[in-house]
Amino acid sequence: MKEENPISFVCSLCGRPYAMEAGRDRHLCPVCSGSIEPVYDFHGKKEHYRSILRRGSSHGIWGYRELLPVDPDVVPVTLDEGNTPLLQADHLARELGVRRLYLKNETLNPSYTYKDRFATIAVSMAKHKGRHTIALGSAGNAAAALAAFAARGGMDCFVLLPPGAVQDRARQIRSYGAKLITMEETINDCILMAKRGEDLFGWENVSTATCFHPWAAEGYKTIGYEIGRQLDFRLPDWIVCPVGGGALLSKIYRGCQDMLALGLIDHLPRFAGVQAEGCMPLVRAYETGKAVADDWGVPDTIAFAIADVCTFESATVLSLLRSTGGTAVAVSDPEILEAMQATGRKEAVLAEPASAVTVAGVKKLLAGGTISREESVCCIISGNGVRDLPLMVQGLPEVPRVGVDDVEGLRAAVAAYQKGKE
């Protein structure tokens, strides 16, 4: 069985060295609860790494592999993930009232979410170590990504899914050949059960929180690299991310840190983390001045993909929000639904509820004066709303029906739509 080469890890907050010991349930700093991340030595090789980031990748995210903690012998299991568009959303910007708005459209990844950037590394590493089966607890997006890459890699995949998950996600997961098991209680319970299964079944737990897999979570930082390259390394004033476990926000920040260390940018953007009001452990901790978020009760929101009872990376995310002058905000389900419809109507991007929270969050932060209308903003649209179409059409007028040769009926139908635009 092959094992990956040793690599140094440290706490993202206090910088203490961290030893990757077998048998640990999760990897967090024992002193400050910060996320654990790999160490990269840019000394003497800055121009080399700058050239990598300027060039980008034409092979999924693997063009950045020198900035990812993987053994050189790992053979990538890839579906050409990454390289997603950065759309300048002028129509939506005018509706929100902000000078410039970008949408980082992660919905165009192979399994329709940013989770593919994690999945390609996790599956590649598991296969390199000789594993034949992976498993995870997930609300659906991570499961779909891991199931897709497991299929690509010729591996089995078991998924533990909590109640309330969107059925179209469950169908997608099964379409990739994954073995689906439903569980009671919360996403967190599913994640912990997948971890217990390592000893029971010998599978590789690939739950996507950084604390379970600090290696693969580094794949998310390539979103930051791509935003930098797509904007000629002139980053927006704000990057707005949905927050469930917190890894997406913390790793995009990490990508920005790398670009700053390499001299490609001269300052860090401000970050905003957005949650749904029905599950907002990070926002509650931010508003009450806590350093670590407490677990939430039972989630109650349409933004199921970020309804994480535990914000695993809360210590790191709260620290970086405060240190960069960022913020955390929660939005209601009606605000999320309105943002989903506006993003589709104005920019032809179908954002799932967990993605649309970013657009709803920008609207709320503009209204409150936290984001200035003269600033530029990038929303991370993390997952595709095509599996949430029943939500998309909520509240829309009934579709008119016209009979054969019923010209007057057609006139009335057109007039009704024109009146609705007034």
Q: Is 322 exposed, middle or buried (0-12, 13-18, 19+ CB in 10 A)?
A: middle
Would the pLDDT of 6 be above 80? no
DSSP state of 419: H
Residue 120 lies in a domain: no
Residue 175 domain-assigned (yes or no): no
pLDDT confidence band for 187 (50 / 70 / 90) = confident
Domain annotation covers residue 293: yes
Give me the pLDDT at residue 225, please: 98
| pLDDT (tens digit per residue) in 345-362 | 999 999 999 999 999 999
**CA atoms 381, 386, 387, 392: torsion sign:** positive
Taking the C-alpha atoms of residue 276 and residue 59, their distance in angstroms, rounded to an integer, is 35
**Is 377 inside any structural domain?**
yes
Q: How many residues does the chain have?
A: 422
pLDDT (tens digit, 9 = 90+) per residue, 50-87? 999 999 998 899 999 999 999 999 999 999 999 999 99
Q: Which residue has the tokens 């708005």?
A: 101
Check residue 238 and give its pLDDT: 98
Mean predicted confidence (pLDDT) in 386-414: 90
Tens of pLDDT, residues 148-160? 999 999 999 999 9
CATH of the domain at 340: 3.40.50.1100
Structure confidence at residue 211 as a pLDDT band (50, 70, 90)? confident
In terms of Cα–Cα distance, which of 13, 12, 49 is closest to 228? 49
DSSP H or E stretch at residue 241? strand 238-242
CA pair distance 118, 49, nearest whole angstrom: 21
What b/e sequence results for 324-352 when a residue is b if at least 16 CB atoms lie within 10 Å of its CB, and e otherwise? bebbbbbbebebbbbbbbbbbebbebbbb
Q: What is the pLDDT of residue 84?
A: 97
- Give me the mean pLDDT over the 140-166 stretch: 90
- In the predicted structure, residue 190 carries a pLDDT above the cut 80: yes
Look at the chain and report how many structural domains it folds into. Answer: 1
Q: Is 139 helix (H, G, I), strand (E, B) or coil?
A: coil
* Separation of alpha carbons 252 and 269, rounded Å: 11
Distance between CA atoms of residues 275 and 243, nearest Å: 6
Q: How far is CA 295 from the centre of its chain?
A: 20
Is residue 11 one of the residues assigned to a domain? no
Mean pLDDT (the chain) is: 92
pLDDT tens, 96-109? 999 999 999 999 99
- 304 within 8 A of 139, measured Cβ to Cβ: yes
pLDDT (mean) for 187-195 = 85
At 143, which helix (H) or strand (E)?
helix 141-153
Nearest in space to 305 (alpha carbons), one of 287, 339, 279? 279
Taking 70 as the threshold, does the pLDDT of residue 1 lie above it?
Answer: no
The confidence band for 4, taking pLDDT boundaries of 50, 70 and 90, is very low
Please tell me the distance from the alpha carbon of residue 382 to that of residue 67, in angstroms, as a whole number: 22
Distance, in Å, from the CA atom of 43 to the CA atom of 222, rounded to the nearest integer, reads 21
Hey, how many other C-beta atoms are within 10 angstroms of the C-beta on 400? 13
pLDDT above 60: residue 196: yes
Write out the H or E segment, with its range, that includes residue 11: strand 9-11
| 5 pLDDT tier (thresholds 50, 70, 90) | very low
Spatial separation of the C-alpha atoms in residues 308 and 90, rounded to whole Å: 32
Q: Which residues pair with 275 in a beta bridge?
A: 330
Distance from C-alpha of 229 to C-alpha of 237, rounded to nearest angstrom: 16
Q: What is the mean pLDDT of residues 393-413?
A: 91
Q: Does some domain include residue 60?
A: no
Residue 83 corresponds to which tokens in the numbers above?
């390289």
Tell me the longest C-alpha to C-alpha distance in the chain: 77
Range of the structural domain that residue 352 is part of: 86-111+216-392
Cα(368)–Cα(353) distance, rounded to whole angstroms?
22
Residue at 157 is within a domain: no
Alpha-carbon dihedral of residues 275, 278, 281, 286, nearest 10 degrees?
Answer: 60
Q: Is residue 220 part of a domain?
A: yes
Residue 406: count of CB within 10 angstroms of its CB: 12
